[in-house]
Amino acid sequence: MPSGSSDALITANGLVKRFGDFVAVDGIDVEVRRGESFGFLGPNGAGKSSTMRMIGCVSPVTDGHLSIFGLDPARDGKQIRARMGVVPQLDQLDEQLTVQDNMVIYGRYFDIPRDECRRRTAELLEFVQLSDRAESRIEPLSGGMKRRVTIARSLINEPELLLLDEPTTGLDPQARHVLWDRLYRLKQQGVTLVLTTHYMDEAEQLCDRLVVMDGGRIVAQGSPRELITTHSTREVLELRYPAGTNDERSGDVLGIGDRSEVLPDRVLIYADNGEAALAEVHARGSYPESALVRRSSLEDVFLRLTGRTLVD
Amino acid sequence: MSTPAAVRVWESHFTLYRTIWRSNVLGAVLQPFLYLLGMGLGVGALVNSNDSSEQLLDGLTYFQFLAPGLMATTAMMISAQESLWPVMGGFKWQRTFHAQAASPLSPGEITGGLALWQTTRSVISVTGVAAVLALFAATRTPGLLLAIPFGGLTGVAFAAPITAWSATRRSETSFPTILRFGIIPLFLFGGAFYPISQLPDWLEPIARVTPLWHGVELCRGAVHGRLGLVEAVGHCAVLTTFAIGGWIWSRREFGRRLSA
């Protein structure tokens, strides 16, 4: 388990968060190294956001050990917060104000002089491709644009560590790709990223390493690739039978591939060779309405580990 | 060179106010102006013709009696509203307080900046009313300037505890009730429109412990140069107690809510 190596930016040992009797985070061990992109993956209520709020030094640790930049959140919260940026789950922008005013106000919270705030604002808006919106109020902007303003704003103090709580939830695919691209660039510039997501594709796109959380605990960890090889097969065959008949038809495919999962809308067959598995299904005289062979994803890992799909 | 945290928080409230001040100021000036004309001149004509009024109003005309009290009532009204919905919004809608808490600011600094802003806001509203009073010879006195900080303090005495209370609420459904059954009765019974000696005996002591009555007495006394030192210190002490007590309570509630 985490030993606290010299380049560790965040170290958590036996970290616990309780709200009354409810245990939100149930003793997790995590180590995030400088320069990496680290993800907390899990469904709603898994304890991701509570963990993030403890790392963000706003929510006190109930039990266990947590250190960020080698500092103690309980004692040095102010110093830690001064060195990181936070992109919250819900945008916290003043809709009545312009993009620029939102940025400057936020920079002032960090005691950055006004002129410097304006200089950085111009730079950051260029980075998130919103330079032409500096004078626009927030209210008419699209969801994706607001998200980009929030990210630009979180960078105003030139943070070493950026916390992103579900950065692309609720955005359309195109807006998500724009955001991913910007976050990837930040990582290239050496900013350490810590994010939560319940999107498998997001975790695969952005994270070097991740932990899968469920019910306040870590159920698996590793790189996306490692998790897929350890907990899934190379390929997945998805079969769709006429509505409502999945259960009875699942008998048809019993024993094909490594294992199978019956979901309400489809049957999944885990196999290293999906085409061969499909050929076997056909050979047994079973003809689903549709069949699709795809690469295994973190979704499959999650399903394997928890027995549940990750739907919002 | 670093700026005190509360001032930097104040800047954000001020920036927002700059975008809405026009509509805001108009209302803040127009409303007391209408009261002054309607009550001061209309009802005043009736009151002044009554023989016992001279003694009851301590030699003031009804217009002179009423006008300074409106500085205190306006501060109360504006400050109460400023500490209800905007505070809820800071936690729930715009979530400004959460954004501030994610920065190096502490809950104490966040409430400090808010209190500083609410003080400013209260003084702005009182200054608007003072400008209206300066239009009339009957209330155009040097003491009008002294009444501005007194009126401002009255507003803060409301803003601080109401802010703390708002911070404990999860929903804004009870806010109109606070205005209807808390603020409006004070407006009517707090001594702005008639001396509280006119109230039923059981109501008079209640009026005396509310911040509004102290604010009204301070503003009226200041405008007409009738404020004794001991009396002034006493009224200010009550208002300051409400303000500081409310602020301490706010700090606690903000700390609790922001660090959940």
The alpha-carbon gap from B97 to the nearest alpha carbon of chain A, in Å, equals 9
**For A293-310, what is the mean pLDDT?**
85
Angle in degrees, CA B10, A68, A208, rounded to 5: 110
Query: CA torsion B219→B225→B231→B233, rounded to 10°?
Result: 70
pLDDT at A310: 64
Question: Per-residue pLDDT averaged across A100-124, rounded?
Answer: 97
Q: What is the pLDDT of residues A215-274, one digit of tens each?
A: 999 999 999 999 999 999 999 999 998 887 877 888 888 889 998 888 888 899 999 999
pTM reported for the whole predicted model: 0.92
Tell me if A249 sits within 8 A of A234, measured CB to CB: no
Segment (H or E) for A62: none
- Residue A4: the pLDDT is 46
Rounded CA gap, B51 and B41, in Å? 17
Q: What angle do CA B155, B186, B28 make, to 5 degrees?
A: 45
pLDDT value at position A126?
96
Of A81, A95, A111, the CB nearest to B102: A81
Closest CA to A269 of A287, A294, A248, A289: A294
Domain at A233-295, CATH class: alpha beta
Q: What is the mean pLDDT of residues B27-38?
A: 86
Rounded to a whole number of angstroms, the distance from the CA of A33 to the nearest CA of chain B is: 22
Looking at the 3D structure of chain B, how many domains does it have?
1
Res B58: pLDDT: 86
Enter the tokens of residue B141: 């006195």
Strand, coil or helix: B190: coil
Query: According to the model, what pLDDT value does residue A312 have?
Result: 43
Residues of B in contact with A157 (CB under 8 A): 103
Q: Which of A59, A81, A101 sits opposite B104 (nearest CB)?
A: A81
- CB within 8 Å: B99 and A106: yes
Outline where DSSP puts E strands in chain A.
8-19, 22-33, 37-41, 63-68, 84-87, 161-165, 192-197, 209-214, 217-222, 235-240, 259-262, 267-271, 290-295
Q: Answer whether A83's CB lies under 8 Å from A159's CB.
A: yes
Distance CA B117, CA B12 (A): 9
Which residues does chain B have within 8 Å of residue A92's beta carbon, measured at their own beta carbons?
Answer: 94-96, 98-99
Does A169 have pLDDT greater than 90?
A: no
Mean pLDDT over residues B204-217, rounded? 94
Name A123's Cβ contacts closer than 8 Å, sequence gap at least 6.
none
Residue A256 three-state SS = coil
Cβ-Cβ contacts under 8 Å between A and B: the total is: 70
The pLDDT value given to residue B1: 61
**Which residue shows structure tokens 């301070």?**
B218
**What domain range includes position B24?**
5-46+54-258
- pLDDT tens-place string over residues B126-150: 999 999 999 999 999 999 999 999 9
Please determine, for residue B162, whether its predicted confidence score (pLDDT) is greater than 70. Answer: yes
pLDDT, average across residues B100-112: 97
User: Could you give the CA distance from residue B254 to residue B160 in angstroms, rounded to a whole number?
Assistant: 12
CA distance A177 to A202: 9
Joined tokens for residue B26: 């108009």
Identify the band that residue A2 occupies on the pLDDT scale cut at 50, 70 and 90.
very low
pLDDT (0 to 100) of residue B129: 95
**Out of 3.90.1150.180, 3.40.50.620, 3.30.1490.20, 3.40.50.300, which CATH number does the structure's domain A8-223 have?**
3.40.50.300
Taking an 8 Å cut-off on Cβ atoms, the answer to whether A111 and B8 are in contact is yes
User: Please, what is the average pLDDT of chain A?
Assistant: 92
Distance of CA A203 to the CA centre of its chain: 5
Q: Fill in the DSSP letter of residue B139.
A: G
Question: Closest approach of chain A CAs to the CA of B245, in angstroms?
Answer: 25
Strand-strand pairing, A192-197 and A63-68: unpaired
Cα pseudo-dihedral B181, B182, B184, B186, rounded to 10: 130
Is the CB of residue A274 less than 8 Å from the CB of residue A235? yes
Does the distance separating the beta carbons of A96 and B104 come in below 8 Å? Answer: no
Name the band, by pLDDT with cuts 50, 70 and 90, for residue B52: confident
Amino acid symbol at B133: L
Distance, in Å, from the CA atom of B143 to the CA atom of B166, rounded to the nearest integer, reads 35
- Helix or strand or coil: residue A23? strand
Q: What percent of chain B has pLDDT over 70?
A: 100
pLDDT grade for B164, boundaries at 50, 70 and 90: very high
pLDDT digits (tens, 9 = 90+) for A27-75: 999 999 999 999 999 888 899 999 999 999 999 999 999 999 999 999 9
Domain with CATH 3.40.50.300 in chain A: 8-223
pLDDT of residue B20: 86
pLDDT tens digits, one per residue of A125-138: 999 999 999 999 99
* pLDDT score recorded for residue A253: 85
What's A120's DSSP letter? Answer: H
Task: Give the strand pairing for A161-165 and A22-33.
Answer: unpaired
Q: State yes or no: pLDDT of A104 exceeds 60.
A: yes
Of A87, A305, A286, the closest CA to residue A197 belongs to: A87
Residue carrying the six token digits 């994610």: B102
pLDDT at A5 over 60: no
Positive or negative, the CA dihedral A31, A40, A153, B16 is negative
CA dihedral B47, B51, B54, B60 (to 10 degrees): 30
- Supply the mean pLDDT for chain B: 94
d(CA B147, CA B12): 28
Tokens of A192: 């350490």
Q: Is residue A183 predicted with pLDDT exceeding 50? A: yes
- Tell me how crowded residue A260 is: count the other CB atoms within 10 A of its CB: 19
Strand order in the sheet with A267-271: A259-262, A267-271, A235-240, A290-295
pLDDT on residue A311: 57
